[in-house]
Amino acid sequence: MATGDVTDPEPLPADHKLFTLANVIVTCHTAANLDESDIDCQTHAAREVANVLSGKGPTIEIQDPWLLEEAQDERFGGV
C-alpha cells in the first residue's frame, strides 16, 4: 500500500494513472494543521464568501483546474 498527499502537479488531473491503482491512496495536501492556520483559513474563506454574496468578486482568482471544472458541472452542489 502506498499513500501520498503531495503531487506534481497539484492537484493531479482526474484521469491520472495513480487513481487507477488499487494499492495507492492519494489525499489532498494539507500544508499545516495548526489552530492558527485553521482560523486564518476560515477567516479568509468567510471574507471571500461575504465578498461574493455582496456582489463583489473574489479577491483571489480561482486557478485550480479541479475547482474550475467542478464549478461548470451542473451537478456540483458544493460541500
pTM more than 0.75: no
Residues 6+ apart with CB under 8 A from 65: 11, 13
Same domain, 71 and 42: yes
pLDDT at 46: 93
pLDDT at 74: 55
Q: What is the DSSP string of 55-78?
A: TPPPSS----HHHHHHHH-TT---
pLDDT at 30: 65
pLDDT at 71: 58
The three cell numbers locating residue 62:
480561482
All residue ranges of the chain with pLDDT < 70 are: 29-34, 65-79
Same domain, 41 and 22: no
pLDDT at 72: 59
Total number of domains in the chain: 2
Query: Domain span at residue 19?
Result: 1-31
